[in-house]
Structure 1
Amino acid sequence: MEPVLAALPTVAARIPAAPVAALGRLVAPSGPVDRLRPAPPRGSPVDQLLAERLLGALELTIPDVLIVVPEVLARHVRARMPQTPAAVAGLSASGESETRSAVALLDQVAPGLRELVTGLVAALAGHERVSPLLEAAPGAEHEVAAAHGGVHLALAVVTSLAVLRAARPPIVGSDPPVVVGVALDAAIRVLRQRPMPDAYAVALRERLRADYVLPRFSAGDVPVQEHHFALVEGDFPAVAAEPSNGLVQVVPGGIVVRTGVPSAAVPVWLRVVGEEPAVVELDAWQEVVDVSYTAVDGAASVLGPAVPAPAHLQGQTPPWPGSIRARVSARGRDEHGDGREGGERYEIVLWSAAPADEVVHKATDRLGHRLRGEPEPPVAPRPEAAYRWVRNTVLGMAATVTVVTGSGPERVLAAFGADPTEPVALTELFEEGGSDPWVAVLPVGDAVLAVEYNGWQGAQMPVLRLASARGRAASMYWNVNALTNLSFARGGVMLASFEPPPPDAPGDAEVIAVLEGLELEDYHERVEKCLVAVERFTGRGLRAEDLERIEAAGVAYRILPRLPEHHPEERRPDGTRRWSKPDPLGPDTDALLALPEPALRELAWWAAAQAVEHSGLGSHPAVSASLATRTLTSDADVLARTSGLEGRGAHRYVWLALHQAMNPDALSAAIRALDAARYAFGPDASAFLDQARERALGR
């Protein structure tokens, strides 16, 4: 005991605070301080980076520490040492730290010695003469954590040094690397079992308050048991009754939410904001209730009755006492949380506010009616439920489904730009991967289904115009980035094409009718809802058995994509451009509005000709014919469309420049031909654009 007490101050004074603060947080409350903890060591009990920093600080001190090893300790240690040292096969792996190598060698030549050190450190830490020396004084959070970790590490260093000097293990002896490695291992093990200092709770609370910033958002799956989860301070509270509002009840320090699913993990979004949201979001939720609760200390966590939620949902509320307003929203409780999009999920929005009465903004699910003692509303199956199966197929992440009436498969394939005489095995197309488009078709009664796996040609207006020439066509496109597009065409005319929900009411009455009641403003199951709209418009939708038939047939068709549609340059009432892009000439692009139409047309074809010359295609028959006639010949059209395919075409931007120069709108032709041509020039684009400015604007 006396040697330890004598050496402890010297070693403690040499331990730097910064690296050991992480050690001092080993048993701190989880959640907010997790990012400050040391990373779990991999493949060794020694945290390599931390050990090297400490070795650098202590390697000159350790040899000078005077410790008289008591005979009782020496006998005890020697009794634990093996009588015949184990053979050592190798010293260290390349690039391994000194401390890690030293500890690995110690385990070979003196197995069990590390465990002995750990046991002694734990016993000393609890001794009545040592324990008071390990208390940390009040201070800032990092100071208390550093003092707590540092003094325990110092105790471990002194104990490790005494044991190693008594044992004199072969090869490693009591050299600084093995002392530090063994001490760090022992300190980590002991600290995990020791309580935090009395001063730490106050210090941590002050740090959390100083670091807390609004707004904040976190989300995760929360473990539910017995139909409940909570947002509370401390442990899960006892819940004796059902919530009178059908969703949420207030408990000391938080709230408890009633779920539909009895036991599962449900998605929960948690938002903490500075003030009450200006709008109550109702479209996406079936139940929305505001309640007030009083925070005792703050920093409440989302948790289940038996299992905590993920760390990023812990300690997220404001870390100070006061009145909190909570808006709890729920959907899917009647579906018992089947894990699908549109299943059971919750949002909790919090802000500081004076206590107020409970407000029920929306109460529409059947579970809520039962809990409130109200008659349940009649079951009204949602039409989109018929398409939930799509999410669990190969189409789930990204696809386009197009339904066409009035035409057979050959005409539909031609509309897509595919050759009906050239089928390709589905397996071959899947193995190729890449972004080149292809489509599979299936006749079903009076309609044709066209399915693109991760493709989007069916969402293009030229395709839908051609496909609908003898009837109707509608398509739904979605991808992994949540981008979507819903389109309708009839008799070769586009009626509507938009990313749902539509920004404005569609102009066609029939399109308005097929969207009725689908609630596209609610993003949940939006793909499924739009597939319902496609079916309503065409009279036929995609069925699970249809997809099975397509895959059983095992064929599809490569698509030669159609060139982009020509659009006029939109102008505001004052004559200026509505959209600022593209802007090949930068701010000078708007100066083109002052040019007469003939000058704009000449500029467009000059840009295309410059791109042709730069690329060396001037002698190509299809190119020269297109420049001469100022239109794409049939051969040129095929080459232009092929240029966008992987490994099958070339000079994409040259062909686009020629295509854009044909735009009936002269202003759009000039701007877009210049834009395509500058990409054809690549690194030489600046010189080309300078020429364009001089030619068009004289500057």
Structure 2
Amino acid sequence: MVEVPDAVVTELVRPVAAALPLIIARTPAAPAAELGRLRAVADGDTWPVHESAFGSRALAGAPARVRPASGLPPVRDALDSLPPLLVERLLGALELTVPELDLSSVPDLGGLLAKPSTGHFLYASMSGQSEAVTGVAVLEQSRPGVLPLVVALAHRLAAQPAIAARLTVGPGIVDERDIAAAHGAAHLALAVATTATVVHQVGIAPLVTKPPAVLGAAIGTAVLLLREAPMPAGYDAALLARARAEYLMPRQTHTSTPVAGHRFALLEGTSVPEVDFAGNGLVTVVPGGAVIRTGVEAGHVQVTLSILDGPPPAVATDWDEVVEVSWRAAVGGASLIGPHPGDLPKLHRVTPPWPGDYRLRVHARGRDDTDLRGRESYQLLVWRAPAAPDTVYARADRLGYRLRGEAEPGRTERPETAYRWLSNSNLDVAATVTVVTGSSVGDVLRAFGADPARPESMRDINDELMRRQSIDPWVAVLDVGDAVIAVEYNGWEGSRAPVLTRSSAGGRAASMFWNVNAVTRLSFAEHGDLLLSVEPFDAVDAPRPVAPAVADLDFADHRRDKRQMGLVAVQRFTGHTVSADDVARIEAADVGFRIVPNLPALRPRRPRPGDPLGTVVDALAEIPEPQLRDLAWWVAAQAAQHGGLGEDPDVVASLTARALTEQARQRAGRSQGARSAHRWVWLALHGATNPDPVAAVADAVDAARYAAGPHAANLVADARARIVGFVPR
């Protein structure tokens, strides 16, 4: 802190005090109130009331988090801690006020700073920054020490009786917003008046003392003052009254809750105590709330918290453990807390803000599955009710029996537990796993539309698709003797009927698909026939060859993992397990194959609006098939010429054969990918092969116009003329 002589402070009291009313009167209430709450936020002494319009969490009841050291001077750091919109709002409101301040009687303060350096100072522009932020940086460079002097003087002046009286919020102001606004506006006014006094009286060139620089330094100084100044008398009561007035029930929130020491809590406090769970094995009541015992020692669990306006209508039956307890709130507003206060800002003081007796029903699932990330979950129901004995509605997990000191009952493992490894694998979020019997690896790849002769690094494929934000399909395979395992990371080709029917030509094929949106697909095929392909939401009505594979798999039970049950069905149908070791071997080999997308299905022509041939298209039905075939392949040839593939050997061979050669078909399929060229040329050739001669012409023209680009109008006109010429007269 800069040493400021008492005489200087005394001489500044009158002009600074005189400037305060004007600045306070022009300070908008909303940003002033947000400044005025800074000490309460720093102390974590807030309640969840309406969110700030400036993007800050100050009004959301979030305890302050420790900001990492920025390396900036205190005033700059304080200014940067505010939402940019708040700073801009204050800058716009007070920019014209700074020149109006009467500083004529203020003494020269230059003697309080070291002599300025001679010559020119160098300033690097901060593109995109607020004028206030830029102005503060200019002040720092132009006269080092000026900002510490502003802060020192503001602290000294705040303690002077004449100014301290103006900083005090009177007892007549009782609304939380009004108290915070008055508190913030008064301290901001002190900072503005002090900053203007200093920067204009220490010998800084007028060029760098413009209002944005003054206000930037003043706002940063006000933040430092308000973080230290105690909240006004009556603020706590006003804030509690506001929280109670705005609190609505019922409400529900879902969150990922951090856990440490096998526990988290719903508590009127800031730390989770260590307690004994021998009573019911799940939840223990403590002063001001309750502590919940988790299976995982450290990490995160999923928690749904519901605040009800009365008792829940029924007890949920799909949880492993359900226990109901009573606790007494001293003030109200218990928070959901983990190992660190402030980890869950949206659940700070979330229970009703009134004291009294409350009932808490805790539901737990997955406490025994600590090796499966993200599978442990809880539901907490809270409502006001008289104190009552603890009630245990369900006790089923092994952890609960151990904590209660009871013998664990025998339990038959469900068949899908063999696939628990899935949740800790790279297939967890989205994948398709296909198992094929009676086929070679090469045949399976070709059935998927991949070329066995074109292997690539799986990592390289994935990195490229991530860069392009593409979902182009690819597959990795593993030969396990008498079966082939095909794995698609975030792909679904193995769930499609054409792939399954081709794969199963020599035996059986089955696949399970899932994605991040909880969409799933379970499919079975045998000897080229698709037997079943369903979204398994409920009991699967399976044909006889599939029925044994889905027996005892209750897909309607959402407590059971559909992905795992689907892989059980795949295993039963094909006779082959997919193991974590299989996936590890695939990933260690790092070999994948891009899948050539399927070309569009060729269908008979159906009338559709906006056909490029217009009404002439109806005349196609009158033209003999040989002439229609001639016309379709003429259009395809035109597309190839316009698209620059007129001399391409595969195109020439296909035009000559009037059918796509195998090599051309592969290239046509690859052209449908996101990174491919000549897509429309190949689609025109593909369309010309349509078994329906009328559709062959229409499909070829539809694609050829895009291949022709700027020549599309001429191509379509020529096609129309040829059609008219072919019509019998």
Q: TM-score, normalised by structure 1?
A: 0.74
Which aligned pairs between 1:431-470 and structure 2 lie closer than 5 A?
433=465, 434-470=470-506
Q: Is residue 2:23 matched to residue 1:11? A: yes
Residue 228 of structure 2 aligns to a residue in which SS? coil
Correspondence 1:236-635 to 2 at 5 A: 236=271, 240-242=275-277, 244-272=279-307, 280-283=315-318, 285-295=319-329, 297-304=331-338, 307-320=341-354, 324-335=358-369, 337-338=370-371, 340-342=373-375, 344-351=376-383, 358-378=390-410, 383-418=415-450, 420=452, 422-426=453-457, 429-430=461-462, 433=465, 434-502=470-538, 504-508=540-544, 510-511=546-547, 513-514=549-550, 516=552, 521-522=557-558, 525-551=561-587, 555-561=591-597, 616-617=635-636
CA distance in 2, matches of 1:78, 1:476: 78
1:303 deviates by 0.9
> C-alpha offsets along residues 436-459 of structure 1, whole Å, 9 cap, x if unaligned?
434333321322222233332211
TM-superposed CA distance for 1:184, in Å, is 1.5
**Aligned: 1:120 with 2:153:** yes
Q: Which amino acid aligns with 1:332?
A: G
Tell me if structure 2 keeps the 8 A contact 1:292–1:324: yes
1:23 and 2:32 are equivalent in the alignment: no
Residues 488 and 163 of structure 1: CA distance in aligned 2, closer, same or farther (over 3 Å): same
Query: Would you say the 8 A contact 1:225–1:306 is kept in 2?
Result: no
Please show how residues 39-54 of structure 1 align to structure 2 within 5 Å. Answer: 44-45=76-77, 46=79, 50-54=86-90
Which position in structure 1 is the counterpart of 2:143? 110
- Secondary structure (helix, strand or coil) at the match of 2:233 reads coil
Are the equivalent residues in 1 in contact too, given 2:635–2:700 (CA < 8 A)? no
Task: For residue 416 of structure 1, report the CA deviation from its aligned partner.
Answer: 3.0
Structure 1 residue 417: Cα displacement: 3.9
Match of residue 578 from structure 1: none
TM alignment of 1:635-646, pairs within 5 A: 644-646=672-674
Letter in 2 for 1:105: V
- The whole-number CA distance in structure 2 between the counterparts of 1:678 and 1:274 is 62
> CA 1:175/1:476 → structure 2, altered by over 3 Å: closer, same or farther?
closer
Distance 2:24 2:495 in 1: 70
- Secondary structure in 2 aligned to 1:192? helix
Query: What does the per-residue CA deviation read over 1:634-669, in whole Å, with 9 as the maximum and x for residues that have no partner?
Result: 99987986664442674598899999998xxxxxxx
Report the Cα distance in structure 2 between the residues aligned to 1:20 and 1:381, rounded to whole angstroms.
62
Q: Go from structure 1 to structure 2 and tell me whether the alpha carbon gap of 1:533 and 1:87 turns closer, same or farther (over 3 Å shift).
A: farther
Distance in 2, matches of 1:205 and 1:373, equals 43
Partner of 2:193: 158
Cα RMSD (Å): 5.2
Match of 1:199 in 2: 234
The verdict on how the C-alpha distance between 1:437 and 1:215 changes in structure 2, with shifts beyond 3 A counting, is: same
Give the alignment's TM-score, normalised by structure 2.
Answer: 0.71
Q: Structure 1 residues 619, 559: CA separation in 2 closer, same or farther (over 3 Å shift)? A: same
Shift of 1:460: 1.4
Q: CA–CA distance in 2 between the matches of 1:306 and 1:430?
A: 37
Greater Cα shift, 637-646 or 453-462 = 637-646
Decide which moves more: 357-366 or 215-224: 215-224
Structure 1 distance, partners of 2:383, 2:702, is: 52
Shift, 1:86, TM fit: 5.6
* AA at the equivalent of 2:336: V
The question of 1:32 aligning with 2:57 is answered no
Distance 1:125 1:334 in 2: 59
**1:282-331 C-alpha deviation (Å, 9 max, x unpaired):** 44x42223344455554331113553422122233344556654332223
Aligned partner of 1:691 in structure 2 is none
Aligned match of 1:695: none
Contact 2:266 2:335 in 1 (8 A): yes
Q: In 1, Cα distance between the equivalents of 2:151 and 2:345?
A: 30
Displacement after TM superposition at 1:475 (Å): 1.0
Deviation at 1:194, TM superposition (A): 2.0
Residue type at the aligned position of 2:279: S
* Structure 1 residue 85 displacement after superposition: 3.4
* Bigger shift: residues 125-134 or 457-466: 125-134
Q: Which of 87, 98, 114 does residue 82 from structure 1 map onto? A: 114
**Secondary structure of residue in 2 paired with 1:158:** helix
What amino acid is the match of 1:246? G
Could you say what secondary structure the match of 1:334 adopts? coil
Distance 1:292 1:121, change over 3 A: same
Is the 8 Å Cα contact of residues 536 and 555 (structure 2) preserved in structure 1?
no
Q: Secondary structure at the match of 2:368?
A: helix
Structure 2 unaligned spans of 5+:
1-9, 57-66, 610-617, 641-649, 707-711, 713-729
Aligned residue for 2:295, secondary structure, equals coil
In 2 relative to 1, CA 14–556 (structure 1 residues): closer, same or farther, beyond 3 Å? closer
Report deviation, 1:83.
2.7
- Match for residue 595 of structure 1? none
Cα gap change, 1:269/1:407 in structure 2, threshold over 3 Å: closer, same or farther?
same
The residue identity in structure 2 corresponding to 1:111 is: P
For 1:197 and 1:239, locate their aligned partners in 2 and report how far apart those are by CA, in whole Å: 36
Contact 2:635-2:704 within 8 A present in 1 as well: no
CA positional deviation for 1:535: 2.0
Distance (Å, rounded) in 1 between the aligned partners of 2:555 and 2:391:
24
CA distance in 2, matches of 1:169, 1:220: 53
Judge conservation of contact 2:639–2:705 (CA < 8 Å) in 1.
Answer: no
- Structure 1: give runs of 5+ residues left out of the alignment: 568-581, 586-598, 663-669, 685-699
> How far apart in 2 are the matches of 1:147 and 1:583?
72
Q: Return the match for 2:182 from 134, 142, 147.
A: 147
